[in-house]
Amino acid sequence: MHVVPSLDPDSPRVRFGAELRRLREAAELSQAAVASRLGCTQTQVSRLEKATRTPSRSDAERLDLLFGKSAGVSFARIYQRIVAQPGSPMWFRNWVEEIEPNLLVLRSWDPLLIPGLLQTEAYARHIFSMEPRVSSDEAKQRVEARMRRQRILDRDRPPLISVLFDEGVLHRRVGGPEVMREQLDRLLEMAAHPSVFIQVVDPECLPGLAGAFMIAELPNGQPDVISSDAPAQAQITADLDIVTSIWERYEAIRLWAYPERVSPQMVEKARSAWT
């Protein structure tokens, strides 16, 4: 049986939902009644309260009008805390806030780098510090955001994570030999994790050259969602045609993957070469 991962109780999105439910019940309003005032469905209000949907600015403003200042809660202020979390670009926050907290399975492909959920802090720091026109503070925030994302692997019931990456990633110098040895040690450690499956892909796999992507499988029959990389902004969508296309590409890449029992041996061999 699949269990939806628990949400961070300190998240501003969780507080938004908890305050909405508290004030709604105190006012003896149904979810349907609140939905009519927000211009959405009862299901969407339920998802707001459960913190499985990120509120919009309009949601926050309308709730402040509905409950008034006498409630002692500013939904607009909580909303600002949600969107102001450092390190993640605005376009990626929907993925971090709505998709990753509810994952059942995450499948990913990366032709160039170790996938973000498996990166060490030093590896991630070197990547972000090399971004064009990035300040040291911005790089630090992005590293911290990446490390926070990895907490989904520490849950009692973490999602299944299946990663494919090009063999060349093991030999691409990021931050020097010490950083690479630590990173490959991390890969070997995660390969032993019961919820993580790692496969190295033959570098002759041409279908993988189109770029990195992730496929999120969600609970309760929700449609799969994909995030596909681009230099400026990733595409995040549940559009059936696009999701189907990414699934087909994933399966084509997987045909070039070495078996799971072989991939850790390849990581070990690559690690020994970083001296």
Strand stretches in 72-228, DSSP E:
105-110, 160-166, 196-201, 213-217, 225-228
Mean pLDDT along residues 27-50: 91
pLDDT at 153 over 80: yes
Structure tokens at 210: 């189109």
Domain boundary among 37, 61, 83: 83
Same domain, 69 and 116: no
Short-list 39, 270, 29, CA closest to 170: 270
Q: Residue 117: its pLDDT value, please? A: 94
pLDDT at 9 over 90: no
Short-list 256, 109, 104, CA closest to 195: 104
Residue 58 is assigned to a structural domain of this protein: yes
pLDDT at 90 over 60: no
Q: Residue 96: its pLDDT value, please? A: 77
Same domain, 212 and 268: yes
Domain boundary among 40, 59, 83: 83
Tell how far CA 164 is from the center of its chain.
16
Same domain, 157 and 219: yes
Domain boundary among 62, 83, 104: 83
Mean pLDDT along residues 163-191: 97
Short-list 153, 228, 154, CA closest to 197: 153
Mean pLDDT along residues 169-179: 97
pTM over the 0.75 mark: no
Cα angle vertex 181, ends 178, 185, to 5°?
Answer: 140
pLDDT at 5 over 70: no
- At 99, which CATH number? 3.30.870
Answer for the pair 77, 71: CB distance below 8 angstroms, yes or no. no
Amino acid at 58: S
Enclosing domain of residue 201: 90-273
Cα angle vertex 13, ends 10, 14, to 5°?
Answer: 55
Mean pLDDT of the chain: 87
- At 51, which CATH number? 1.10.260.40
